[in-house]
Amino acid sequence: MAESGADRLRLSDTIGILSPEEYGRRVEAVGRVSSIDTQCHCHNDFGLAVANTLAGLNAGARYFHVCVNAMGERAGMPDLAQMALALKHLYGRDLGIRTKHLKELAEIVAEASHQPLPAWQPVVGDNVFAHESGIHVNGMLKDTSTFEPFTPEEVGNVRRYVIGKHSGRATLRSVLENHGIAVDEDKLAECLTQVRAVAIRQGAALTPDQFCDLYKEHSYSVEAAQ
């Protein structure tokens, strides 16, 4: 192949039917008989495009295909953001990509392609750095690495604490302190029950302003009763 002018050989799993183990084995087998570099081309029909590409790189491939937001035929292809962060943080391979622009890039492509970006899209989705569970938020307020493998700033995303039916006092306390509102622990505990009830009733989380208003109203009602 090199004699014919080729500089790389692309190993395609076009319908995404190979496991990471099998794809890696085939890349390794190709590498043993080829004098040129191997390139990975994987599809996501079983949700394994990123895993297969990583397996191929570990088996000796030097190049790989990605798409922004994993867009591609049928179930899509390996996502650029996921590959860049996985290689950097899990395998110690920094591609030199300015990752702080990944969220912005994903949103631009989503808008241009008329394909909404899922909130749970790894790395760039709106929910990736959203924390609601009381236990999680309590840990996050002490050390963000407890529930985040990398910082939102690294990829241009933002962290937020969701005020909902799973929230705990740590979340509510943090919101009040950020709004400059004095915290009464007894009133906070009582207000937590109301917060959960409101979240269930409206079928959505409360906004910070909505919670602060609720807390103030609860405080006034308690004081009036006294």
pLDDT at res. 226:
47
Q: Concatenated DSSP letters for the chain?
A: -GGGT--EEEEEETT----HHHHHHHHHHHHHH-SSEEEEEE--TTS-HHHHHHHHHHTT--EE--BGGG--STT---BHHHHHHHHHHHS-------GGGHHHHHHHHHHHHT-PPPTT-TTTSTTTTEE--HHHHHHHHH-GGGT-SS-GGGGT---EE-BSTT--HHHHHHHHHHTTPPP-HHHHHHHHHHHHHHHHHHTSPBPHHHHHHHHHHHHHHHHHH-
Global confidence as pTM: 0.85
Question: How high is the mean pLDDT in each 10-residue block of the chain (226 residues)?
Answer: 78 96 97 93 97 98 97 95 98 96 98 96 97 92 95 97 91 90 86 90 91 80 47
pLDDT at res. 43:
97
pLDDT at res. 1:
65
Query: In the chain, where are the structural domains located?
Result: 8-96, 98-161, 162-226
pLDDT at res. 6:
79
pLDDT at res. 224:
46
